[in-house]
Structure 1
């Protein structure tokens, strides 16, 4: 059963542990139903996380880490949608770190209508630090652990594995383009979500709305590589399982999406 309990609005402390920004949803960031696209929402979340580490002024921004031969990488994200904002809406996005362990930083997000406080969605994410020379994840450095933690998690941290894909019902092939790349020299994580969703048939996308997304990032995708997007749809549970593979069958991401029937237009 899909959990539709909305989080309580918290009172934000006056410190740097929580970052807030006002976003005006533009028409070109929305779909044919005038709703902000899921991939655009993921872009907002990543951008807010990046801006937050800059404003903390602790030497942990993307540029700061690159200068040390390191980089932030998103390893998992879960998004729970209550009501997707529409084109020309004004929304407030809050983000804050919620904890650390040896290899991972945990960060949550809350998106709400700026004028009414009506919650649009919440999300939780897991981040790691990559060593560019080793092309692998390293323990969270001590200077990053200076990041202040004052907010309570909105959602449980992602645990367990995404179920393995079953009988493939649809697939598409993509190529990593120049403008898919980010500052870490590989395809941006949001593009992975785009590849997963684009493998779904038009009839499914017209009939359903994504309500809960769980995406696990396994490996990077580099410029020019071919990406195979496979999906298995379960129409009874209204879910889809996705897998992204390279030509050599290396898995780069898994995705599970819970859908709900799209309301009929009034």
Structure 2
């Protein structure tokens, strides 16, 4: 009895087995290859060549209850006992446990959502939701262009505030984006399609800037700009810069522009075709800054207090029209400003008159004369005015200018716009 049970457990079954009632029993768990035993190894051992069979000596006949065979649940098997073969490796049983992976992903997303909701990222004002740092948008019936700028760490100076060059770059950027958003930007620096057909470009002839307060690192400023006609052959562009959080006015600026032929470098009248392109965007309003019509006095080696020589443009100072960008002139003008003024005062206003363009091979000189206000020592004085000249080494005038300076951190004195008439 023992031998028979053990032999049937290890030998392949040639035909379906039948129970005592004569019924054929179905296969359980599928068929097993004939040459593989229950442990997945070859059924033939080294001794199989002798014709002997391996017999499990511990095998027992299944007990019977009332004449019926009853299965027996074996206890823990020893290492030398027969182990059940693992199921064959298929594509399905090699896939990861998707339920565990899904649970892990869900946990991560829930944690991230909780952290995101805890952040105070929402803007304080609803209008900041619209394009806060993009290319801006046209507002007020298509006549005003508005763009926001965030003051970066590399745009501030020694006073921890944005430099005047930073403000000037913001003005120039909004002017170009205004033309672009209006669908008038062609191949050129702010040139319209009709201007490009005639090789015409815009050049600035005068710029006036009043600074009430300088923004600091991380501030967001809102710049509005618009254009208007200036005489028969000129255009005026104004800017208004505000603190986007408080709405306080930071800077006001106005400028005059004329057209120049890109090939001949001579001034040109505005063609009728160009006037039709841009005329619909002109506003009928006075300049945002009153025109400073005072004549700038002649400045030379004898009348200047400070002279800086050997200024040369770099390749990065040129714009797409191959002449020096007008913002660069501002930095050159201030190169000759005396250090005591730069240390104790901040620029409150300036007027610049552009006389001719500067090319990449030019060598320039910066001259400054300090106007004595009769208030004693310069370091302890109130408002100070300076006169400037940027010229070629050969003597040709590039830019003439006037700057006004107020003491730093002098909120009690007020802005330049509040000075008495005789001082302004």
TM-score, structure 1 as length reference: 0.88
The verdict on how the C-alpha distance between 1:259 and 1:34 changes in structure 2, with shifts beyond 3 A counting, is same
Matched, 1:17 2:140: no
Instruction: Please show how residues 63-212 of structure 1 align to structure 2 within 5 Å.
Output: 64=193, 65-66=195-196, 68-145=198-275, 146-150=279-283, 152=285, 153-157=287-291, 159=293, 161-165=295-299, 167-173=303-309, 174-212=311-349
Matched, 1:241 2:387: yes
Give a deviation string over 1:169-210, Cα, whole Å, max 9, x none. Answer: 111120121111111111111111110101112222011111
Residues of 2 paired with 1:36 and 1:128: CA distance?
29
Give a deviation string over 1:188-237, Cα, whole Å, max 9, x none. Answer: 11111110101112222011111111001000111121001111012426
Q: Does the CA contact (< 8 Å) of 1:125 and 1:157 recur in 2? A: no
Matched, 1:224 2:358: no
SS in 2 for 1:156: coil
User: 1 or 2 for the larger relative contact order (CA 8 Å, sep ≥6)?
Assistant: 1
Please report how far the alpha carbon of residue 157 of structure 1 lies from its aligned counterpart in structure 2 after TM superposition: 4.3
Give a deviation string over 1:16-56, Cα, whole Å, max 9, x none. Answer: 22110010011111111111101111111111111111212
Q: Which stretches in structure 1 are left out of the alignment for 5+ residues?
A: 1-11
Please report how far the alpha carbon of residue 158 of structure 1 lies from its aligned counterpart in structure 2 after TM superposition: 5.2
The verdict on how the C-alpha distance between 1:55 and 1:159 changes in structure 2, with shifts beyond 3 A counting, is farther
Q: Does the CA contact (< 8 Å) of 1:27 and 1:87 recur in 2? A: yes
The verdict on how the C-alpha distance between 1:254 and 1:260 changes in structure 2, with shifts beyond 3 A counting, is same
Aligned match for 1:29, one of 137, 152, 155: 155
**Larger C-alpha radius of gyration, 1 or 2?**
2
SS in 1 for 2:357: coil
Residues of 2 paired with 1:46 and 1:33: CA distance?
23
TM-score, structure 2 as length reference: 0.57
Residues of 2 paired with 1:14 and 1:126: CA distance?
22
The verdict on how the C-alpha distance between 1:20 and 1:13 changes in structure 2, with shifts beyond 3 A counting, is closer
Q: Which stretches in structure 2 are left out of the alignment for 5+ residues?
A: 1-137, 374-382, 412-424
4+ long deviations beyond 4 Å: none
Give a deviation string over 1:96-119, Cα, whole Å, max 9, x none. Answer: 012232221011100000011100
Q: Does the CA contact (< 8 Å) of 1:76 and 1:158 recur in 2? A: no
Alignment: residue pair count? 254
Matched, 1:263 2:399: no
Q: Does the CA contact (< 8 Å) of 1:106 and 1:157 recur in 2? A: no
Residues of 2 paired with 1:158 and 1:70: CA distance?
28
Name the structure where helix makes up a greater proportion of residues.
2
Deviates more, 1:140-149 or 1:68-77: 140-149
SS in 1 for 2:281: coil
Deviates more, 1:161-170 or 1:86-95: 161-170
Residues of 2 paired with 1:119 and 1:155: CA distance?
13
